[in-house]
């Protein structure tokens, strides 16, 4: 409970800055409108106007809050207008991509640790893969997969996988190599084979590294899913909400989708953090 | 059968090639260890005592000479699980209980569950840790953890116990206690023990033979047969015989120019 006050302080500072920003950025529009109508705005009227515009440059927090309330609680979750529905679409792609990416990441890490050729050759490609802007490659993945008849959830999950396998590879290579020389010698004195060494020593030892990687991977996976929704013609998902919002200048809708994405990421990463605490405590490693 | 030595090294050499030139870790080591011996290796850092132990365990490859363990090469002996190796650190897995840690080599070696249970129980009694099977390593003191690691090395009934400064990180009081326990254990199990140490009193108290080594190149400068009886209470360390052996070890270390840095 001791850290509640600092957290609340930071939140308060953010809100104050946000409101000041909203007033400052939306003032021009309000002034122009007033000028056209031939009226003079008092300071209070100006502030009131900047915080209640339909398409503000920067919507005020309460406008976003109202929008989120209306599109979550007050809408049927199966409705196309429900943010819960869109979050669900994005989350399912995120989770599938996360699972695929984690699997791919662990598989590559095992290959790198156990196979000298892979050790020498794979890592540069893994790093190169992440230097390509995802915005450039995402449409290609969608188009190519579409061409072979794969549409819907899976292409988005592939983009999520593309982003989320990287932290898992890096973390797991380090984790699987974390047993020290003595532990490996010890395994050798027992004439353990590679599989035993992996399951009894290397894999358990890598758990702290795995969970750290999973947190980064989950966040990356969500970004991947949202990016994957942008070139799909804005059908559904948080990415589609962002895209539709920007087409029609619906800044309130954009911001509420952004906040929703952030909340979703925080929840998903939080769940991994919880699992991390439980598992590592159980394993005597925390 | 009974006459052949358990470990036999002849003109054994090991040279590490480093960027600063070759390091002669071992040179012309010739030594036989008989069944039931308790042999201590003592000498300053860099004298090759740990390297020699690692060669016995097939953890290092000699570059010259011959060595057999149980009459076969160290590699074959290792694969036949001829020895248990105790490292300086207990090296228990934090995610396994004490029982689970002792079970680890047994699982690897394919003992069935019933045999595992029976052996875990037996070796825990041997190191006087009965009742601690379900505890986790962090719940035990450093000395108890090292006893658990000895139990783990004993669990699969290897005839040879290789110990690399197992009590080096422990305080003197705990060390005395563990030395006493180790002697009891050695008498009960009739294992052949090779024991690396820095401590003269420890070497003299435990051993039937003390191998004094000197560095650069790592070689044996003297082998001292202990006249002490097999029955050794801790206060044997105050007897003239004990002090005489300790004196000879110290002389041996000095003669090998071990400490003239």
Confidence grade of residue B173 (pLDDT, cut at 50, 70, 90): confident
Q: Are residues B192 and B253 in the same domain?
A: yes
Q: Whose structure tokens read 């915080």?
A: A51
**Domain hosting residue B191, numbered range:** 1-82+158-261
φ and ψ at residue B226, rounded to 5 degrees: -85, 130
Nearest to B108 among A182, A192, A204 (CB): A192
Confidence grade of residue B261 (pLDDT, cut at 50, 70, 90): very low
Q: Touching check for A39 and chain B: CB below 8 Å? A: no
pLDDT at A230: 83
CB contact under 8 A, B78 and A191: yes
Q: Say if the ipTM goes beyond 0.95.
A: no
Q: Are residues B164 and B241 in the same domain?
A: yes
pLDDT at B216: 83
pLDDT at B105: 96
* Boundary (domain end) residue, out of B157, B189, B205: B157
pLDDT at A105: 96
Q: Are residues B43 and B141 in the same domain?
A: no
The whole-angstrom separation of Cα A115 and Cα A123 is 12
**pLDDT tens-digit map of B137-171:** 999 999 899 999 999 999 998 999 999 999 988 88
Share of residues in chain B with pLDDT > 90 (%): 68
Q: Touching check for B169 and chain A: CB below 8 Å? A: no
Strand pairing class (B209-214; B7-18):
unpaired
Which chain B residue lies closest to A201 (C-alpha atoms)?
Answer: B93
Closest CA to B259 of A46, B250, B21: B250
Q: Touching check for A281 and chain B: CB below 8 Å? A: no
pLDDT of B218 over the 80 cut: yes
pLDDT of B134 over the 60 cut: yes
Which chain B residue lies closest to A286 (C-alpha atoms)?
Answer: B94
Burial B21-50 (b: 16+ CB within 10 A, else e): eebbbbbbbebbbbbbbbbbbbbbebbbbb
pLDDT at A232: 63
Q: Touching check for A286 and chain B: CB below 8 Å? A: no
**pLDDT tens-digit map of A102-143:** 999 999 999 999 999 999 999 999 999 999 888 888 888 888
- Domain CATH number, residue B168: 3.40.50.300
pLDDT at B257: 63
Residues of B in contact with A182 (CB under 8 A): 87-89, 91
Report the interhelical angle of B98-109 vs B142-154 (nearest 10°): 20
Q: Are residues B75 and B35 in the same domain?
A: yes
Give B103's DSSP letter.
H
Q: Are residues B206 and B261 in the same domain?
A: yes
Can you tell me the mean pLDDT for B19-44? 91
pLDDT of B106 over the 90 cut: yes
Q: Count up the domains in chain B and report the number.
A: 2
- The helix/strand/coil state of B219 is strand
Q: Are residues B41 and B69 in the same domain?
A: yes
Q: Are residues B69 and B99 in the same domain?
A: no
Q: How far is CA A166 from CA A107, A130, A172, A262, in A?
A: 12, 7, 10, 21
Can you tell me the mean pLDDT for A58-84? 88
Share of residues in chain B with pLDDT > 70 (%): 97
Q: Touching check for B81 and chain A: CB below 8 Å? A: yes
Confidence grade of residue B209 (pLDDT, cut at 50, 70, 90): very high
Per-window interface: A 143-172 vs B, CB < 8 A:
none
pLDDT of A192 over the 60 cut: yes
Q: Touching check for B72 and chain A: CB below 8 Å? A: no
Nearest to A189 among B78, B88, B89 (CB): B78
* Boundary (domain end) residue, out of B157, B185, B208: B157
Q: Are residues B172 and B47 in the same domain?
A: yes
Can you tell me the mean pLDDT for B204-217? 92
Q: Are residues B164 and B257 in the same domain?
A: yes
Q: Are residues B58 and B167 in the same domain?
A: yes
CB contact under 8 A, A185 and B59: yes
* Boundary (domain end) residue, out of B102, B122, B157: B157
Q: Whose structure tokens read 């309000």?
A: A30
Confidence grade of residue B172 (pLDDT, cut at 50, 70, 90): confident
CB contact under 8 A, B94 and A285: yes
**pLDDT tens-digit map of A151-170:** 888 989 999 999 999 999 99
Q: Touching check for A195 and chain B: CB below 8 Å? A: no
Which chain B residue lies closest to A191 (C-alpha atoms)?
Answer: B79
**pLDDT tens-digit map of A135-149:** 888 888 888 988 998
Q: Are residues B153 and B164 in the same domain?
A: no
Q: How far is CA B221 from CA A31, A175, B26, B249, B254, in A?
A: 98, 44, 12, 10, 10
Q: Are residues B75 and B94 in the same domain?
A: no
Can you tell me the mean pLDDT for B43-66? 92
The whole-angstrom separation of Cα A109 and Cα B119 is 36
Interface size, chain A vs chain B, as Cβ–Cβ contacts under 8 Å: 52
pLDDT of B258 over the 50 cut: no
Can you tell me the mean pLDDT for A244-250? 87
CB contact under 8 A, B109 and A190: yes
pLDDT of A262 over the 90 cut: yes
Mean pLDDT score across all residues of chain A: 91
Nearest to A191 among B79, B87, B107 (CB): B79
What is the DSSP annotation of A175-231? HHT-S-HHHHHHHHHTT--HHHHIIIIIHHHTHHHHHHHHHHHHHHHHHHHHHHHGG
């Amino acid at each position: 409970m001791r850290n509640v006050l600092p957290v609340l302080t930071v939140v308060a500072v953010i809100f104050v800055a946000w409101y000041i920003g909203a007033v400052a950025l939306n003032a021009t529009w309000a002034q122009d409108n007033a000028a056209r109508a031939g009226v003079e705005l008092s300071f209070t009227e100006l502030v009131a106007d900047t915080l209640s515009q339909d398409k503000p440059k920067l919507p005020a927090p309460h406008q976003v809050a109202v929008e989120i309330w209306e599109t979550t609680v007050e809408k049927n979750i199966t409705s196309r207008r429900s943010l819960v529905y869109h979050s669900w679409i994005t989350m399912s792609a995120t989770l599938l991509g996360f699972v695929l990416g984690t699997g791919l990441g662990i598989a590559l890490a095992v290959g790198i640790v156990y196979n000298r050729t892979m050790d020498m050759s794979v890592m540069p490609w893994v790093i190169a893969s992440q230097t390509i802007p995802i915005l450039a490659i995402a449409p290609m993945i969608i188009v190519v997969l579409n061409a072979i008849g794969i549409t819907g959830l899976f292409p988005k999950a592939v983009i999520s996988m593309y982003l989320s396998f990287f932290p898992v590879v890096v973390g797991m290579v380090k984790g699987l190599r974390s047993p020290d020389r003595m532990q490996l010698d010890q395994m050798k004195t027992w004439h353990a084979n590679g599989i035993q060494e992996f399951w009894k020593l290397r894999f358990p030892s890598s758990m702290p590294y795995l969970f750290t990687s999973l947190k980064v991977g989950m966040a990356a996976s969500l970004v991947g899913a949202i990016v994957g929704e942008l070139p799909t013609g804005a059908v559904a998902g948080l990415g589609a909400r962002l895209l539709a919002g920007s087409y029609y200048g619906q800044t309130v809708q954009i911001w509420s989708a952004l906040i929703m994405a952030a909340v979703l990421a925080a929840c998903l990463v939080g769940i991994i953090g919880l699992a991390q605490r439980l598992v590592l405590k159980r394993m005597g490693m925390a | 059968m009974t006459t052949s030595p358990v470990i036999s090294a002849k003109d054994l050499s090991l040279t590490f090639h480093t960027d600063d030139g070759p390091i002669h870790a071992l040179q012309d080591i010739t030594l036989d260890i008989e069944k039931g011996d308790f042999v201590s290796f003592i000498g300053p850092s860099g004298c090759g005592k740990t390297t020699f132990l690692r060669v016995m365990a097939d953890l290092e490859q000699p570059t010259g000479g011959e060595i057999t363990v149980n009459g076969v090469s160290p590699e074959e002996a290792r694969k036949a699980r001829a020895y248990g190796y105790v490292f300086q650190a207990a090296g228990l897995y934090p995610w396994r209980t004490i029982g689970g840690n002792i079970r680890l080599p047994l699982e690897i070696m394919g003992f069935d569950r019933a045999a595992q249970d029976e052996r875990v129980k037996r070796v825990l009694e041997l190191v006087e840790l009965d009742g601690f099977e379900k505890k986790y390593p962090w719940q035990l003191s450093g000395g108890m953890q090292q006893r658990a690691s000895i139990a783990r090395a004993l669990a699969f009934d290897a005839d040879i116990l290789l110990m690399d400064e197992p009590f080096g990180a422990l305080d003197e009081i705990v060390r005395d206690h563990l030395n006493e326990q180790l002697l009891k254990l050695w008498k009960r199990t009739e294992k052949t023990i090779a024991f690396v140490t820095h401590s003269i009193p420890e070497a003299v108290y435990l051993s039937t033979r003390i191998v004094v080594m000197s560095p650069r190149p790592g070689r044996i400068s003297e082998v001292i047969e202990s006249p002490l009886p097999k029955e050794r209470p801790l206060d044997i360390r105050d007897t003239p015989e004990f002090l005489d052996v300790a004196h000879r070890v110290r002389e041996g270390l000095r003669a090998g120019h071990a400490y003239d840095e």
